[in-house]
A and B are shown apart, each in its own frame.
Chain A
Amino acid sequence: MSFRDLRNLSVDNQVALLFVTLFGVLVLVTVGSFLYTLRDTPDTQSAAAVRFRRELRAVWVGTLLFWLAWISGPVGATLFFGLFSFLALREFITLQHTRRSDHRSLILAFFFVLPVQYAIVATQHFDLFTVFIPVYVFFAIPVVSAMAGDPHRFLERNAKIQWGIVVCVYGLSHAPALLLLDFKGYEGRGAFLLFFLVIVSGAAQLVQEVASRWLRRRPVARHISRSFSVRAWLIGTAVAGVVGALLYWITPFKAGQALALALIAAGCGSLGEFVMKALKRDAGVLHWGNRSGVTGAVGLLDRVAPLCFAAPVFFHSVRWYFKLSL
């Protein structure tokens, strides 16, 4: 089957093929890792192997949810990412040591801002979607906070809540928005756009990680990350750009455009991850999520952080460059 045959398939068949391929790869990897555990060597129980199996399980869950979100349409996708947002914001706020007087502002953030933002996405009001949080919520949160009558560290407390909302709600809500974005001649294929973004930023992360181990460069900011170096970041972003260019045929872009947008998305994702690392250092933890020496659990926010930063930049670059209507 050639690329041209693929292009001639109906949209639904193309999307179905995407998921069949994804699940096929996952099944192969899972079978492979299962066969590996059957070998009775000591390193099948090593920390790295256990971590790999846990990551694999997380990828399975993520892919299944991605598929469920797709088949359930705009409402399902919105609910799915809304839940992600909720859990991510919960992890973020947990580590920010809010005070008693922040209670009302937090209720506003969790139970009003978050559902409204996702309702706006689901109804595709993209003009309101881009300004609701930066304009209206930005104003509403400090008002509610001031009503609580606690001037102690007022700016700091409000900044924390605003930050949490922008990263976990505003940033992440651009992922379902990509699913619903209307390109001329590309209707109903938003899943590919999101898939493109996830693959590209995932590739950047992976390559950057490997590159930093292999290069052993001096870290840019030792106190934030011992592995982040400019060269590793450049390599990661470049490779992700190539991956994006190779995937141009699943997107509405031409190869050159795909390369540029992949570079933007991947670069932002890795830098966003780096910023989140700084926040974790500030809070004194290694991972988001519930602190636990027992399970060694990695939080949800650790996984979605690159997406939180890459999705808005990607979304707005696409809309600006292709002059898509509001």
Chain B
Amino acid sequence: MSAADLMGLLLSLLARLITGTQGHWKGCPPTAEQRIYFANHQSHFDWVLIWAALPKDLRSQTRPIAAKDYWTSSPFKHWLTREVFNAVYVARTRPQEASGSSTDDQDPLEPLTEALSHGDSLVIFPEGTRSNKGDPQPFKSGLYHLAEQFPQVQLIPTWIDNVQRVMPKGEVVPVPILCTVTFGAPLSLGVEEDKHDFLERARAAVLALRPRTA
């Protein structure tokens, strides 16, 4: 067993101890089909939670998206995202502001489309940023473009509940509180469906999975 496997085991154990990480497969079974899971984003813990809620055999082929500038900035972060989670790196800002002119026209979605054409599954947070209060923000258009290019990939709406209480923005030590991850029924892009309509529908599908609070 390699160090990366051990780290993965340790992290999933930790996630289980802190949050219980129950996966509820309400709309689809946990099978090894190629999928894009799209979820609400409230905390840094989100990805680990989804990852720990997946059955073991799905974990190796399901990859997160990591911001390249942040997650490659130190050797440990780089190792964690590359070896343990097999992350797909994306540039957060369009590179034109930096300096280069040759990479000017690089599509930010290109690493994602590459991973999808290799047959990997992805987890994305289409809000783009962490929303720590209330409803998720409007979705960015990346999901629509991926759905357009890969109609055969299942789009699974996913709701992560309670995780903002585990580790609110700005805190480093997580508090043990039970969380759930609910996976809904697959969504697909309608024929000639408008981008805006589709993104609204996707967001509503994620919101519909929120457990009702009594």
Whether A292 lies near B176 (C-beta < 8 A) is no
**Given A290-B22, A294-B26: A285 and B175 within 8 A (CB)?**
no
Where chain B touches its partner, the secondary structure class is: loop
Nearest CB in chain A to that of B21: its residue: A290
Taking a contact as CB atoms closer than 8 A, the residue among A86, A103, A285, A294 that contacts B24 in the complex is A294
Q: Choose the segment among B99-107, B115-123, B165-173, B189-197 that binds chain A (4+ C-beta atoms closer than 8 Å).
A: B165-173
Taking CB atoms, residues of chain B closer than 8 Å to A89 are 176
Taking CB atoms, residues of chain B closer than 8 Å to A86 are 176
Residues of B in contact (CB 8 Å), total 18
A262 to B173, CA, bound (A): 43
A-B contact count (CB 8 A): 42
Whether B178 lies near A289 (C-beta < 8 A) is yes
Taking CB atoms, residues of chain B closer than 8 Å to A110 are 175-176
Whether A106 lies near B22 (C-beta < 8 A) is no
Nearest CB in chain A to that of B24: its residue: A294
Whether A98 lies near B178 (C-beta < 8 A) is no
- Mask: chain B, 1-42; 1 = CB below 8 Å from A; 0 = not: 000000000000000000010101110000000000000000
Give residues of chain B (174-198) contacting chain A, Cβ–Cβ below 8 Å: 175-178, 180
- The smallest C-beta distance from A188 to any residue of chain B, in angstroms, reads 33
**Given A100-B168, A284-B214, A285-B214: A93 and B177 within 8 A (CB)?**
yes
Whether A93 lies near B20 (C-beta < 8 A) is no
A285 to B178, CA, bound (A): 14
Nearest CB in chain B to that of A284: its residue: B214
B113 close to A (CB within 8 Å): no
New A-B contacts (17) at CB < 8 Å, excluding given A90-B178, A98-B165, A284-B214: A90-B176, A90-B177, A93-B175, A94-B177, A103-B168, A103-B171, A107-B175, A111-B173, A284-B213, A290-B20, A290-B22, A290-B178, A290-B180, A291-B180, A292-B22, A292-B180, A295-B22
A residues sitting closer than 8 Å to B (CB atoms) are 86, 89-91, 93-94, 98, 100, 103, 106-107, 110-111, 283-285, 289-292, 294-295
B residues sitting closer than 8 Å to A (CB atoms) are 20, 22, 24-26, 162, 165, 168, 171, 173, 175-178, 180, 211, 213-214
